[in-house]
Structure 1
């Protein structure tokens, strides 16, 4: 346990000291700002037209209230989170190859599984904190623009949907860890994540999104306008994909030739 805590502390130190996490934080900050901007336009369409923010013939659909805003935040995390969380995972697992520090890790008197667990824990904490940043900033922006419909019940339902969406999205980052190890760097996992996002849009468009793991978070968040419902089969698909990514990563670290 002491070895795991030490390895986890080191991985978190790497994340805190890197520029990657701050660049990622800045990129993710754009999401609630854009969501708040869209809600502001929905809430004040006449003001937006007079100020030139939208054209006179632009059709703005939707409602400006807290339930719609929470749904929008969930959709932002579901779609953008796959890319952002995949990037964080790629960096945490791929930097050892890019910086040529893998030999230093392998020289430590720890079992290799300890290093993998520590890295996955660092991914979970980092992505969870990024998601919390988006939620807190989003709520503050919602209060700033004066969205109607606030209540404790709406807050509870909104946070519940957000939490499930976040956990689903984080779970899908584990295959990126394997591709970072298999590709020995950043490019392979980033290419994999982008490809999965594109394929998810296609499969969701033809009506089979509930069976494709990378489409499940966005469908659950209500991107197609449905109520947030997570079929048991979709949950199993996401869980199976996440466990497969974890198992493949452990297998690579334990049995691959790292010379």
Structure 2
């Protein structure tokens, strides 16, 4: 199993998708957050209107923007990686070779998920550190305890986003393509937005983490947010089960 996980990590590290997705999540979120801060300092009315009360040229405003961007952009980036990891063998017609390996297909799926989890944890750790460094460079001053809490929430939000993306792995397997996974990723983002507008976001696993992070627990409690764990477990189990039953003629 360890060898299989290393192989999946190596494929992800050397792939264009892995490099682009990692850059998009890390650099993209930090750059957009910095741009929002600069725009707020300049008094750009459209940005101030979008952020509302959080449109402040300080750590609070910077992290508020970063949290919003992470909620949507992070999920999209994680979903793309999962769609590629579970759909590429079908798209590249390499799935036939998996049946000749001494490792079972359920173990291969588990190795993919473990490799994905390792990559995602690294991203979730690096992202708050990059935001901290960027804030210091932009002259926001030394972070206080509230700022450190906000950075920690963004890290947790990124981790929960990796779990929210797990239906994509099952969709890419069932649809036997990367595009099937990406299609489901778009649907996940739409459902999350709709649940917030409908006022049920606190009990919707797709929306609760973002609401918890953005409101410091006022719009979604931590127990509600933890519904993400059984949500992810269901899709992980379905993915491994589907790979165990994988057939060449379908």
TM-score by length of 2: 0.88
Matches within 5 A, 1:194-209: 194-209=186-201
Residue range with higher mean Cα deviation, 63-72 or 229-238: 229-238
Q: Which residue of 1 aligns with 2:244?
A: 254
Q: How many residues align?
A: 242
Which of 122, 132, 147 does residue 115 from structure 2 map onto?
122
List runs of 5+ in structure 1 lacking aligned partners: 46-53
TM-superposed CA distance for 1:39, in Å, is 1.1
Choose 110-119 or 9-18, whichever is displaced more: 110-119
1:87-125 deviations in Å (ceiling 9; x for gaps): 010111111111111122221111223211210011112
- 1:59–1:22 CA distance, 2 compared to 1 (3 A): closer
Q: Is 1:67–1:149's contact at 8 Å kept on the other side of the alignment?
A: no
- Alpha-carbon distance between aligned partners in 2 of 1:185 and 1:59, rounded to the nearest angstrom: 38
User: Residues 71 and 158 of structure 2 are in contact (CA less than 8 Å); yes or no, is this contact kept in structure 1?
Assistant: yes
2:217 aligns with 228
User: In the alignment, is residue 136 of structure 1 matched against residue 129 of structure 2?
Assistant: yes
Cα RMSD (Å) of the superposition?
2.1
Structure 2: state its 5+ residue gaps: none
| TM-score, length basis structure 1 | 0.85
Rg: which structure is higher? 1
Secondary structure of 2:207's counterpart equals: helix
C-alpha displacement of 1:243: 0.8
The aligned runs of 1:1-259 (5 Å cut-off) are 4-28=1-25, 29-45=27-43, 54=44, 60=48, 61=52, 62-148=55-141, 150-151=143-144, 153-222=145-214, 226-228=215-217, 230-231=220-221, 234-259=224-249
Relative CO higher for 1 or 2, CA cutoff 8 Å, sep ≥ 6?
A: 1
Residue 176 of structure 2 aligns to a residue whose secondary structure is coil
What are the superposed Cα offsets for residues 167-202 of structure 1, whole Å, 9 maximum, x if unpaired?
Answer: 211111211111110000111111111012112111
Comparing 65-74 with 230-239, which one deviates more in the overlay? 230-239
Checking the alignment, whether the CA contact within 8 Å between 2:168 and 2:184 is kept in structure 1 is yes
1:134-159 Cα distance to aligned partner (Å, 9 max, x none): 333322221111114622x2343123
**Once structures 1 and 2 are overlaid, which stretch shifts more, 4-13 or 72-81?**
72-81
**Structure 1 residue 204, shift from structure 2 partner:** 0.3
C-alpha distance in structure 2 between counterparts of 1:161 and 1:65, whole Å? 17
